[in-house]
Structure 1
Amino acid sequence: MGFYQVAQFRTLTQQRVELEREWERWARTPNIAMPRTPRTSLLRKEVAQSWQRSLHTVDPGRTVAPGLDDIGDLWAESPLRRPVTELAPDLRGIAEDSGYLAVVSDAEGTILWSCGARPLRRQAEQVNLAPGGCWNESHMGTNGLALALRTDRPASVFSAEHLVAVLHGWVCYSAPIHGPDGRQVGALDLSGSWDRSHPAVLTSVRALVTAVETMLRAAEPTPSPGLRLDCLGTARLLRDGSPLPLPPRQLEILALLALEPNGFTPEQLHTAVYGDRAVSTSTLKADVSRLRRATGGEITNRRYLLTGPVGCDAVDLLGAIATGDVTSAVWLYRGPLLPGSETPGVVAWRDYLHVGVRTAVLASDRVEHAVAFGERAPDDVEVHEHALRMLPSGDVRRAVVTARLHTALHA
């Protein structure tokens, strides 16, 4: 063992001893109703908060995670099955070379898949850190998987930061996995012996999660039944997954109708479409009539209003902004509303949606939001600077964000 390794081991040992003392104070005291102030700076705020929550439902002395006897259907139906299966050789190589166990769970914290060297897998099986084990916060207290799923961000839990004492010999690094719609579909975790703790492991977890999410986005989507209007960064109308060719003007009218559920009077729609231009009302009536035929008669006559269901990515985005769901908003925002359109109503909605997402991103403390939105807003200096302020110094994404910032500053 080299000098650096010896020094690191001593540091980790000291950290473990100090955390054990703090854990004893929390876990052995029956009063869990009162918030407590940690006596050591080593106890991170997010861990202390997780302990406070977990102590209501989890016995720190429990020895094994509860679980399901059969996860066959869960794994078969999981969107993670295909990408994880394809990445399995890489995951096994990383896990076995580094002496870690690789684990994939669903969004509820139930483990669906794991791999690693056989001796480590046997240790993990003793606490049911294996397929079928339930590792969310309410069942197993503070652990990497639970914290990543709860906070929706990468997390590490070292030794006595685990609420359950039997896990004090472990360290785990986890990150949530998001589907194409921005919602959690699970988490990926690398767990090993506490004395192997190293911050670089979390970088590996982030990279693996990025690979899984990239494969999820690239997967062939299942066609949605009925009418579907995609108008963020593109312009197309689909029926049961098949394109319906429509001229740009009719797509613009349909987008406006979708975004205004109460509809328009003929005069209001005329203004939204043509502004102050001298265009006859018969032109608008003809466009609406053609659109009505294309949509199967789903537009009323006297007041222009959609009467049938039309899925629309811009409407989904509007809902995410309204409910404060920043993750979904960032994933849904694939570009400006009907890019290239100069229709007044479309321009107004384009600015509204862009500003709504941008404001939410700048108010968010999740670096993933700023990095993802920065890809859609390459000229936005403030967004790139916001991302760089949050990115850790060793994060591989700093290179991409720094390049974006450089380009934006010199545009």
Structure 2
Amino acid sequence: MSYAHLDAYSRLLRGAHEAAATGLASPQSPRRLIKASWRRSLDAGIDPEGKSAPLAMDLSHMRDLRQAHPLRPLLPMLAQTLSGLADESGHVMIVTDCDGRVLWRDGNHTTMGRADQIGLADGHRWSEHSVGTNGIGTALATGRPVHVYSEEHLMRVLHVWSCSAAPIIDPDSGRVIGCVDVSGTARSLHPATVALVAATAKLAETQLALRMHERDERLRRRYESLRGRPGVLLSATGRVISGDPAGDLGIRVHLGERAVHMPGRRMILRDGTTALLEPFSDGFLLRPSATAAPPVLTLSFLGERSPSATFGDRDRPLSLRHAEILTLLALHPHGLTAEQLSCHLYGDDGNPVTIRAEIHRLRAQLGEAIAAKPYRLTCPVEADFLTLGRLLSAGEPGPLARAYPGPLLPRSESQEIRRERDELEAQVRACLLRRGAPEDLWAYAQTSGGRDDYEVLERLAALPSTDPRSAAARSRLLS
């Protein structure tokens, strides 16, 4: 692109950026990827006048974080591919974790000095939710390579910069584990740099795949030494390595985050059979279970999302009425009659016949999970609102803030559910105000109840002026 074209594009971006930052309509817009990123960033409360990325970790822990990160063995290869180019051309190479926190940095020393001024340095977070549109954050948000030019950044202080970044996906887990980025002054970084960065990310993924296959082969040899003991061999991330020749389990078995701490855990497989999950070397073995464990009913009823249930291995969207019935049954484990359910849902005007019809439809979805006389849940239940109650008892604000996306069934008019909803909201708010860290209060401020909470916003507004959350809180207080 010629300098004349760059100048014209910069003028277009400046007008569109000013309109986006002030909430006005603009006849001209940036490209679709950038427009969508601006919207996500503004919705997250990013202040276009922010000055720096936030420091997101204790730098004294940086060495341990680097040592534990799966990209650490590949750093020499990444540096050989990109840091030489970065140093020669006046750019800086960045490698982050999956949250956009800078773990490694190399390149031109003068540019790194300028990068320090905006927090493009070790331990600072560059996710979209922290600094708005930028190469690292937008690549992580979209899951694909991105070049962000000058005024395409949402924060005005970044308009002198351009960056090319690409996410790195771990072939073992299938998840994004980090991002590689080259950043420099706006016109010195050619948009074609993104192709080199993307190729480097793919090279890293190839190296990760080779290492994964080497681990699989070592694990397979240990498994074969068992000589006839039944079981399916899984990697530490649940990939099926051996013992399932028909492919009944698919490519991967979902283990859950706590599988490593739950030896002997029973699991229901895709074909409905039950197996025991046992640690084996660096992975797991699935063994046939002599006794079938009942499937777990998992309820997700907190926040603005539509209520849903998981029973066995199937996810089911629920109507509000069915979600209300399941909430009441979960809150009353000994059961409720049709008359009691009707009263809880409809008040004195309720009709038990209506409840029986709803229960009949609900049992068509959940089968034997619901028994009658009285109506009750007959299987293990894991509900986000019950988990929240346990976290409140523990009084730990961090896990509590992460577990609370919003109120219980916010559209429900049931008097008992409204009472439970209000009690949970009040207890969460009190715990976070009493003991919550800024990130806990910010998480609560994203919920419907916390969005305009004056006391919470005052706490956030008192953060340092360089923290984007402070500016966002002040803006809400003034609106």
TM-score by length of 2: 0.47
User: For residues 114 and 17 of structure 2, what CA distance do their matches in structure 1 show?
Assistant: 23
1:19-58 equivalence runs, <5 A: 19-27=13-21, 29=22, 31=23, 38-41=26-29, 43-56=30-43, 57-58=45-46
Q: Does 1:263 align with 2:280?
A: no
Q: Does 1:127 align with 2:118?
A: yes
1:253 shift after superposition? 7.8
Q: Is the 8 A contact 2:19 2:25 kept in 1?
A: no
Residues 344-387 of structure 1 show CA distances to partners (whole Å, capped at 9, x for unaligned) of xxxxxxxxxxxxxxxxxxxxxxxxxxxxxxxxxxxxxxxxxxxx
Matching residue's letter, 1:46 = L
Tell me the equivalent position of 1:169: 160
Within the candidate set 6, 11, 14, 2:5 is matched to 11
User: For residues 126 and 162 of structure 1, what CA distance do their matches in structure 2 show?
Assistant: 16
Q: Which has the higher strand share?
A: 2
1:200 shift after superposition? 1.8
Q: Which runs of 4+ in 1 moved over 6 A?
A: none
Within the candidate set 290, 295, 312, 1:300 is matched to 290
Q: Does 1:200 align with 2:192?
A: yes
Q: Is the 8 A contact 2:19 2:26 kept in 1?
A: no
Q: Is the 8 A contact 1:237 1:245 kept in 2?
A: no
Tell me the equivalent position of 2:49: 61
1:4-403 equivalence runs, <5 A: 8-27=2-21, 29=22, 31=23, 38-41=26-29, 43-56=30-43, 57-67=45-55, 68-70=57-59, 71-180=62-171, 181-219=173-211, 238=220, 243-246=225-228, 251=243, 256=248, 260-263=270-273, 298-300=288-290
SS at match of 1:63: coil
Percent of aligned pairs with the same amino acid: 34
Bigger mean CA offset, 112-121 vs 10-19: 10-19
1:214 shift after superposition? 1.4
Q: Is the 8 A contact 2:53 2:126 kept in 1?
A: yes
User: For residues 106 and 296 of structure 1, what CA distance do their matches in structure 2 show?
Assistant: 31
User: For residues 25 and 46 of structure 1, what CA distance do their matches in structure 2 show?
Assistant: 17
- Measured at CA, do residues 237 and 72 of structure 1 come closer, stay the same or move farther in structure 2, by a change above 3 Å? closer
- Structure 2 alignment gaps of length 5 or more: 233-242, 250-267, 275-284, 295-312, 316-479
- Structure 1 alignment gaps of length 5 or more: 1-6, 224-229, 265-294, 308-320, 324-411
- Measured at CA, do residues 214 and 119 of structure 1 come closer, stay the same or move farther in structure 2, by a change above 3 Å? same
Q: Is the 8 A contact 2:248 2:271 kept in 1?
A: no
User: For residues 219 and 46 of structure 1, what CA distance do their matches in structure 2 show?
Assistant: 34
Q: Is the 8 A contact 1:144 1:189 kept in 2?
A: yes
RMSD across aligned positions (CA): 3.7
Give the number of equivalent residue pairs: 254
1:98 shift after superposition? 3.0
Residues 284-337 of structure 1 show CA distances to partners (whole Å, capped at 9, x for unaligned) of xxxxxxxxxxx8974539xxx799xxxxxxxxxxxxx989xxxxxxxxxxxxxx
TM-score by length of 1: 0.54
Residues 60-115 of structure 1 show CA distances to partners (whole Å, capped at 9, x for unaligned) of 11111111341222212111111013432332212123332111111101011111
Q: Is the 8 A contact 2:102 2:120 kept in 1?
A: yes
- Measured at CA, do residues 300 and 91 of structure 1 come closer, stay the same or move farther in structure 2, by a change above 3 Å? same
1:121 shift after superposition? 0.6
- Measured at CA, do residues 79 and 55 of structure 1 come closer, stay the same or move farther in structure 2, by a change above 3 Å? same
